[in-house]
Amino acid sequence: MQERPVSYVPRWVLALLAGALATQLFVASRRPDSQAVLAELGVPPSADLVRLVSLGEPVAAAKLMMLYLQSFDYQTGGRVLYRELDYELLVAWLDTIIALDPAGQYPLLTASQIYAEVPAQEKARRMLDFVARRYREDPNRRWPWMAHAAYIAKHRLRDLPLAREYAAELQNNTTAPDAPLWVRQMEFFILEDMNELEAAKVMLGGLIASGQIQDRRELELMEQRLKGIEERIERERGQPATTPPAVSAERRKDDTSVRKLTPH
């Protein structure tokens, strides 16, 4: 489903949106500091009800709901922090918005890059779970948000098993031709961080042998990485490292392009 331009949205919807935004800004600007209170997010209306009242404009209604949802950051002059929101209700709102506009990417962008980065770990995990669940429904379009979820699990939550779980799903389920190679390599890097060197060696060796890496420079970097892992394993065993099997010269000549490997 392709998103329609704003010109397709009925004028009454645009007028309603403008009025809602103006009212929100006016109320926020007139509220004294002493009256700053946290408003309840409330239970979202059902997707079926929104489709009915939007008169056949569910995508426009979804965008309005997303604007309303994000307006909670601006109530009381911006002193309502994301971590203070009820995340169960927040997930319910995001689920309804995606049901109205499945092709929209903004709900998952905000979920992975805003709501999941709160300092409250329990709420961050709840949002990562939401991102992962929605990724599984459409992995070839939603892989960027799952990749960011893996990043949050690794670097913010310091939960390497969870990061590996997400990375494994990315490797197994993402087949989009425009997905960069590093998306399918994330599990290998996390295994290396977990010191699971044997598993990392098997995975990287299998990736090299599969022929998925067509770029000569990327192939050389992966071979060097594999050799480094083997050397680490042998050092721990107190034995000299073995040299990994080289890729055939014919295969190297097949690809003359050189691209920079995306940093992880």
Residue 161 lies in a domain: no
Q: What pLDDT score does 237 carry?
A: 78
Count up the domains in the chain and report the number: 1
pLDDT bin (cut points 50, 70, 90) of residue 250 is: very low
Residue 223 lies in a domain: yes
pLDDT at 6 over 70: no
Q: What is the pTM of this model?
A: 0.68
* Inter-axis angle of helices 181-193 and 197-210, nearest 10: 160
Q: Which residues contact 183 (CB under 8 A, 6 or more apart)?
A: 143, 147, 170, 171, 174
Residue 137 lies in a domain: no
pLDDT bin (cut points 50, 70, 90) of residue 34 is: very low
SS3 content of the chain, % helix, strand, coil (to 5): 70, 0, 30
Q: What percent of the chain has pLDDT over 70?
A: 71
Burial of 220 (0-12, 13-18, 19+ CB in 10 A): middle
Q: What pLDDT score does 239 carry?
A: 58
- Give 169 or 84, the one with higher predicted confidence: 169
- Give 7 or 59, the one with higher predicted confidence: 59
**Number of neighbours of residue 109 by Cβ within 10 angstroms:** 14
**What is the spatial distance between Cα 167 and Cα 173, in angstroms, rounded to a whole number?**
10
What is the average per-residue pLDDT within 254-261? 38
Q: Average pLDDT over the chain, rounded to whole?
A: 77
pLDDT at 137 over 80: yes
pLDDT bin (cut points 50, 70, 90) of residue 162 is: very high
- Give 154 or 193, the one with higher predicted confidence: 154
**b/e 31-56 (16+ beta carbons within 10 angstroms → b):** eeeeeeeeeebeebeebeebeeebee
Residue 233 lies in a domain: yes
Expressed as residue numbers, the domain containing 209 is: 180-264
What is the average per-residue pLDDT within 107-123? 93
- Give 221 or 212, the one with higher predicted confidence: 221
The helix/strand count (H/E) of the chain reads as: 12, 0
Q: What pLDDT score does 109 carry?
A: 95
In this structure, of 69-78, 111-120, 191-200, the range with the lowest mean pLDDT score is 69-78
The pair of three-digit structure tokens given for residue 249, joined into one six-digit string: 């010269």
- Give 191 or 157, the one with higher predicted confidence: 157
pLDDT bin (cut points 50, 70, 90) of residue 9 is: low
**What is the spatial distance between Cα 165 and Cα 156, in angstroms, rounded to a whole number?**
16
In this structure, of 17-21, 108-112, 177-181, 212-216, the range with the lowest mean pLDDT score is 17-21
